[in-house]
Chain A
Amino acid sequence: MSETLALSRIPLDQYAELLGASEIEELRALAKPLRGRSIEMINSTAVGGGVAEILNRLVPLAEELEINIKWDVMMGGEDFFEVTKSFHNALHGAPYHASPKDFEIFLAYSERNRATLPLDAEFVVIHDPQPAGLIETRQPGANHWVWRCHIDLSHPNRTVWDFLEKFVSRYDCALFSSPEFSRQLPIPQYLFYPAIDPLSEKNCDLDPQFVSQVLGRYHIDPQRTILTQISRFDRLKDPVGVIRAYRIVKRYFDCQLVLAGGSASDDPEGAIVLKEVLREADSDPDIKVLELPAWAPLEVNALQRAATVVIQKSLREGFGLTVSEALWKKKPVVASAVGGIPVQIIHKHTGLLAHSVEGTAYQIRFLLSHPEIAAKLGEHGHQHVKENFLITQKLKRYLTLFLTLARGS
């Protein structure tokens, strides 16, 4: 049984104010042949995580275009989600010892959901590996099936991928966030970027007074340079490397460093990394390590807007939407050339890429020495996000995909 989902409804006309009426008119023109046709989106969670966040925005926008779209969530027990979490980590390349029982659990839940979910829409979009097995219900030629993979499959665990590939190969096409995340498959693969919503609390314009309040709350001096990295306390985000880069920058520029991420209290690994970060910070009063509440979009928005330079010094990354969030706010960004970041940061055009602690520090120093270049990168970055990484662009890509699939048939 699927859950009933409460969706965030922002009318398309509000996006027109931001993007121009012609862009919305174009969406309506593209959607016209799809009016009344059915689409079913399926993922494994109604709340939390980027996929649910995107669907929560995308589905109402498609409804406004008179498309018969629905979003269903596949049901699973604790055992299922334990297995799929292991699969998820293994597909990211983490070590994993496959047990036949795990695959049995996966298949059993796939079968149970096949019996309860409708799966009869003209276009069925399955998000990520958890519901991938639903494809077994497909009748030849009955409808179009799309697999949207939000994770990095560049170095997957062989056993898990071999198991999943049997399902994936039966879809009409697969969608990936970056070409390097894709696999050799017998079906077409398309590039689908994740997206941010410019009208969400995390990205909407803020009253400068509110930004000041947030800075005051965390004892950040708005008059001095602020370097900011927003990300959870995870070694792959290299917060310790960020502190080391900051220390190099500090030799040349008076500055503060803000490292803000979700609370690490319910994440054992996060708590360990947080300790490492605090040890590296060594009580430097200019390093602000902030454990934000689990859902604090306005605070994140304010910290990004207050930053002089935004850093994303990840060692490995999925897409890294925090980069798009910062670019949307016209911030100069220095980020690692990993995962989906180079798609967002076109080096020397929409930001600066770095490959090491020293490189990160150098690029930050360059931007602080050349504020006019920093401003230009921020402006270009904003345009880049506007053209490519907004929820409206994502909707446009889906419309194009459905029309292409329909045309093909």
Chain B
Amino acid sequence: MNVAETPFEFVTVSYLTRIGNQSAGTLAELLTGLEHCSDASIFHHTFQTLGSHHFLTDGFSNDFAQWALSDTNRNDLAEQLAALDIRDYVSIAALRSDLCRVVGEYCAAYPNFASQSALERFYFCESVELTAPLGRNARTLDEFREGIEHLSHSGFYFHFISSRLRLQLRTNDFSHWLADGLGLKSLAESVNHIDIYTNTLDSARAKLLRLIDRERRKA
């Protein structure tokens, strides 16, 4: 059995939501907000909200899309915003740029809708992140499986979803370690292909464990 030189260290994460000073009552104001809000705010309304609403697997993608749908009744814009896949981004700047492009193009194409009042305002908030070590680590695939099985939702989210930004790579902590630590590149790739939009954190974890079990049977 492969033994990694550098162990995988399991941590968990907790977030505070800081209320910002910006809000939007129209799509045009949303665009202004997107252009000027902090990176922590873009993170909060996309990456973090996906984690805290992981159980919604039929159309909920990020807070901007949900607001466009439920408060401005712009289904087409909501679809476009929901289609932005955070796995495609390794920086908040790139994600912000695409959010602004989608909303900007919509406002330009439909200026009447851009200035129409929403049912409820959108409040820009920020995530304040705090991590805590769980005191568990893994050097082998068996230990790794055991650790994943016992992770909380927050811990799993931290390693599997928000890690993409930290790594600045189109991958996650688990795949990164499987490839670099254990040399299991094919397993790492399969893990990275698990769809985080159509799976809950629980079902994503179950798939990941099944992939690991398949690998263990090969050994």
Contact = CB atoms under 8 A, between A and B. Distances in A.
Contacts of B153: 23, 387
Interface residues of A, number: 41
A30 to B, nearest CB: 5
A242 to B, nearest CB: 21
Contacts of B121: 180
6 contacts: A22-B151, A26-B132, A189-B19, A346-B66, A384-B55, A400-B130
Interface stretch (A44-52, A281-289, A348-356): A348-356
Interface string A249-278: 000000000000000000000000000000
A184 interface: yes
Given A189-B19, A396-B14, 14 more contacts: A23-B152, A25-B152, A26-B132, A29-B134, A179-B23, A191-B18, A337-B119, A346-B70, A349-B56, A387-B55, A397-B16, A399-B14, A400-B130, A401-B16
B123 A22 contact: no
Given A188-B18, A189-B19, A355-B119, A25 B134 contact: yes
Given A30-B12, A387-B52, A176 B150 contact: no
Contact of B56 (A179, A190, A346): A346
Contacts of B66: 346-347, 349
| 6 A-B pairs with the lowest CB-CB distances in the bound complex, closest first | A179-B123, A383-B55, A191-B17, A347-B70, A22-B152, A26-B152
B132 A30 contact: yes
Interface in B78-125: 119-121, 123, 125
A20 interface: yes
A397 B18 CA distance: 12
Contacts of B52: 387-388
A22 B155 contact: yes
Contact of A179 (B19, B55, B69, B150): B19
Interface string B162-176: 000000000000000
Contacts of A404: 16, 128, 130
A32 B53 contact: no
Contact of B14 (A30, A189, A348, A384): A30
Interface string B29-60: 00000000000000000000000111110011
> Which of B23, B66, B152 is most buried by chain A, counting CB atoms within 10 A of its CB?
B152
B53 A384 contact: yes
Interface of B: 12, 14-19, 21, 23, 52-56, 59-60, 66, 69-70, 119-121, 123, 125, 128, 130, 132-135, 150-155
A400 B52 CA distance: 16
A304 B148 CA distance: 37
A25 B150 contact: yes
Contact of A400 (B16, B55, B119): B16
Contacts of A176: 19
A355 B118 CA distance: 13
A342 interface: yes
B162 to A, nearest CB: 15
Interface in A369-389: 380, 383-384, 387-388
A343 to B, nearest CB: 10
B165 to A, nearest CB: 19
A176 B19 CA distance: 9
A380 B55 contact: yes
> Which of B70, B125, B133 is most buried by chain A, counting CB atoms within 10 A of its CB?
B70
Nearest to B63: A346
A337 B118 CA distance: 12
Contacts of A184: 21
Given A346-B60, A353-B70, A387-B153, A29 B18 contact: no
B72 to A, nearest CB: 12
A157 interface: no
A403 B133 CA distance: 14
A107 B152 CA distance: 46
Contacts of B12: 26, 29-30
Contacts of A43: none
A314 interface: no
A29 B16 contact: no
B41 to A, nearest CB: 12
A399 B12 CA distance: 13
A180 B125 CA distance: 11
B132 A191 contact: no
B208 to A, nearest CB: 15
Contact of B154 (A26, A33, A347, A399): A26
B205 to A, nearest CB: 11
A191 B121 CA distance: 16
Interface in A10-25: 20-23, 25
> Which of A26, A191, A337, A342 is most buried by chain B, counting CB atoms within 10 A of its CB?
A26
B11 to A, nearest CB: 9
A400 B18 contact: no
A188 B125 CA distance: 11
A21 B149 CA distance: 11
A246 to B, nearest CB: 24
Interface string A172-216: 000010011010100011110000000000000000000000000
Given A179-B23, A342-B120, A29 B132 contact: yes
Contacts of B18: 188-191
A355 B73 CA distance: 14
Contacts of B70: 346-348, 353
Contacts of A397: 14, 16
A180 B21 contact: no
A176 B23 CA distance: 16
A337 B56 contact: no
Interface string A147-188: 000000000000000000000000000001001101010001
